[in-house]
């Protein structure tokens, strides 16, 4: 309360100064000259001093309130600090106790050995994983090798009384023809490496007249070589009829149908299942091969113009022997179809991949299709007015028999030299 004492002293000194000045003895002349104004001055000073006194009193009260708040805050800070320290000490004690309990438990349960065994088990699991990965890789390689060793393995066709199919292994090949191959067409390029991701079973020959009748009940109206016999290839069928045959053969064998067909007879319209080529090639029933699947099978692992080499003779295929491949010898022209598998096979056991009759494939035909296709299981399904054909025929020259040669025709047309063969997974 020192400030109050100072204030009181100041007030008393002011009073003494005012009243003392008014009542002190002064020279006469000064008293007389200032008699009228000194009274007024004293009154003004008293009022001013009173105002100062009131203001000082208010400031003193405000200061007292601030001091009180400071004391409260200081007390609260001490209290909070004490509480925080108390919490810290309690937490520290709990941690030390928990650490001691864990140490006791580890000692009691011999955790050191447990950790050692865990680390050993993890190391063994890592080794097992590495060995398993290596084994899976080896198994995959063995399966691929087994597929190739099985290439050409025959099997009876379920749903038919006669006829066989051959195993075609998955693999890669160069599709199309090189720029220096004689009589090459522009639609056979650009050459590119194509991968067939899954193996498949392909009929070893074109569908025969006997196999057609067994499934469809009667021969097609446009069959040209009726007197050739049951073992001659069916011809005079359009693309839609070939698709319908595939569906009926799948149905006889209890397999999935790979085509959706509407209508009957010559008015029938068929399309492959699904909205994409990838849907079609995954179908497990009988279906027409894609261009890539057909050429891969026709080559049988070869890279030459024919699976027989750069030339083919009339003793190896049924075609117009008067028009051989460039730098190759002429041969017989039979001018008709002959029984399937009469003139030998390729390395995978397939007959007549060159000549006898053209073979429908699934793809739409476009001369620039190879520029638009991918490298794995390619199939051209974009809008196209024609469907593809492969292999050449009895009436064509040797150029048309080449493995890379491509043809196309309206799917509703039924040529006198056009047939087909099927495959399935």
- Digit-coded pLDDT (tens) for 182-236: 999 999 999 999 999 999 999 999 999 999 999 999 888 888 777 899 999 999 9
Q: How high is the pLDDT of residue 35?
A: 44
The residue with greater pLDDT, 373 or 39, is 373
Residue 146, pLDDT > 90, answer: no
Best CA proximity match to 321, nearest among 392, 388, 411, 231: 392
Q: Are 315 and 329 in contact (CB under 8 A)?
A: no
Distance CA 19, CA 43 (A): 10
Residue 229 covered by a domain:
yes
pLDDT average, residue stretch 103-114: 68
Residue 256 covered by a domain:
yes
Q: Range of 367's domain? A: 154-424
Query: DSSP class of residue 262?
Result: E
- At 12, is the pLDDT very low, low, confident or very high (cuts 50, 70, 90)? low
Q: What is the DSSP string of 332-390?
A: -B--S---TTSS-B-TTS-B-SSBSSEEEEEEEE-TTGGGT--SBS----SS-SEEEEE
| CATH number for 338 | 3.90.1580.10
With residue 86 as reference, give the H or E element that holds it.
helix 35-109
Residue 147 covered by a domain:
no
| Number of compact structural domains in the chain | 1
Q: How high is the pLDDT of residue 56?
A: 77
Mean pLDDT for the chain? 85
Give how far Cα 236 sits from Cα of 40, 94, 285, 304, 412, Å.
143, 94, 24, 30, 11
User: Residue 87, class by beta-carbon neighbours within 10 Å (0-12 exposed, 13-18 middle, 19+ buried)?
Assistant: exposed
Residue 64 covered by a domain:
no
Sign of the four-CA dihedral 70, 72, 73, 75: positive
Residue 178, pLDDT > 60, answer: yes
User: Residue 222, class by beta-carbon neighbours within 10 Å (0-12 exposed, 13-18 middle, 19+ buried)?
Assistant: middle
Cut 0.75: pTM above it: no
pLDDT average, residue stretch 282-297: 97
Q: What is the pLDDT of residues 325-339, one digit of tens each?
A: 999 999 999 999 999
Q: What is the pLDDT of residues 254-288, one digit of tens each?
A: 999 999 999 987 789 999 998 777 899 999 999 99
Residue 402 covered by a domain:
yes
Residue 144 covered by a domain:
no
Q: What is the pLDDT of residues 69-89, one digit of tens each?
A: 767 766 776 777 677 778 777
Distance CA 302, CA 305 (A): 9
Residues 6 or more apart whose CB falls under 8 angstroms from that of 26 comprise none
Residues 6 or more apart whose CB falls under 8 angstroms from that of 40 comprise none
Helix axes 2-23, 35-109, angle to 10 degrees: 170
Helix axes 35-109, 111-149, angle to 10 degrees: 70
Strands 358-365 and 418-419: parallel
User: Residue 286, class by beta-carbon neighbours within 10 Å (0-12 exposed, 13-18 middle, 19+ buried)?
Assistant: buried
Distance CA 421, CA 396 (A): 19
- Backbone φ/ψ region at 327: left (φ over 0), alpha (ψ -120 to 50), beta: left
Q: What is the DSSP string of 126-186?
A: HHHHHHHHHHHHHHHHHHHHHHHHTTT-EEEPTT-SS-EEEEE--EEEEES--TTSTT--G
Residue 338 covered by a domain:
yes
Residue 302 covered by a domain:
yes
């Amino acid at each position: 309360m020192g400030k109050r004492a100072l204030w009181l002293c100041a007030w008393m000194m002011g009073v003494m100064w005012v009243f003392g000045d008014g009542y002190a003895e002064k020279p006469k002349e000064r008293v007389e000259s200032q008699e009228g104004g000194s009274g007024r001055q004293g009154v003004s000073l008293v009022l001013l001093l009173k105002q100062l006194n009131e203001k000082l009193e208010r400031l003193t009260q405000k200061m007292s309130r601030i001091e009180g708040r400071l004391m409260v805050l200081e007390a609260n800070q001490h209290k909070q600090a004490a509480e925080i320290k108390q919490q810290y000490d309690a937490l520290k004690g709990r941690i030390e106790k928990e650490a001691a309990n864990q140490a006791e438990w580890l000692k009691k349960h011999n955790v050191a050995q447990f950790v050692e065994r865990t680390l050993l088990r993890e190391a063994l699991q890592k080794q097992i994983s590495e060995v398993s990965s290596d084994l899976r890789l080896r198994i995959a390689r063995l399966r691929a090798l087994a597929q190739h060793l099985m290439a050409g393995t025959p099997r009876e066709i379920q749903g038919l009384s006669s006829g066989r199919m051959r195993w075609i292994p998955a693999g890669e090949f160069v599709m199309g023809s090189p720029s220096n191959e004689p009589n090459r067409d522009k639609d056979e390029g650009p050459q590119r490496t194509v991968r067939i991701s899954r193996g498949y079973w392909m009929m070893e020959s074109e569908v025969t007249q006997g196999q057609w009748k067994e499934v469809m009940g009667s021969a097609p109206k446009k069959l040209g070589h009726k007197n050739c016999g049951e073992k001659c290839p069916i011809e005079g069928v359009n693309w839609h009829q070939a698709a319908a045959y595939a569906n009926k053969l799948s149905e006889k064998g209890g397999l999935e149908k790979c085509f959706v067909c509407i209508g009957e007879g010559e008015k029938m319209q068929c399309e492959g299942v699904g909205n994409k080529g990838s849907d079609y090639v995954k179908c497990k029933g009988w279906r027409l091969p894609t261009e890539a699947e057909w050429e891969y099978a026709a080559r049988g692992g070869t890279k030459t113009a024919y699976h027989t080499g750069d030339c083919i003779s009339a003793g190896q295929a049924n075609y117009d022997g008067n028009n051989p491949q460039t730098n190759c010898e002429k041969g017989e022209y039979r001018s008709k179809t002959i029984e399937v598998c009469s003139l030998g096979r390729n390395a995978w056991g397939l007959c007549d991949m060159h000549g006898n009759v053209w073979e429908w494939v699934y793809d739409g035909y476009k001369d620039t299709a190879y520029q638009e296709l991918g490298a794995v299981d390619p199939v051209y399904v974009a809008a196209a007015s024609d469907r593809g054909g492969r292999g050449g025929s009895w009436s064509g020259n040797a150029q048309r028999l080449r493995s890379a040669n491509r043809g196309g025709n309206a799917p509703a047309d039924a040529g006198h030299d056009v047939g087909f063969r099927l495959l399935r997974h």
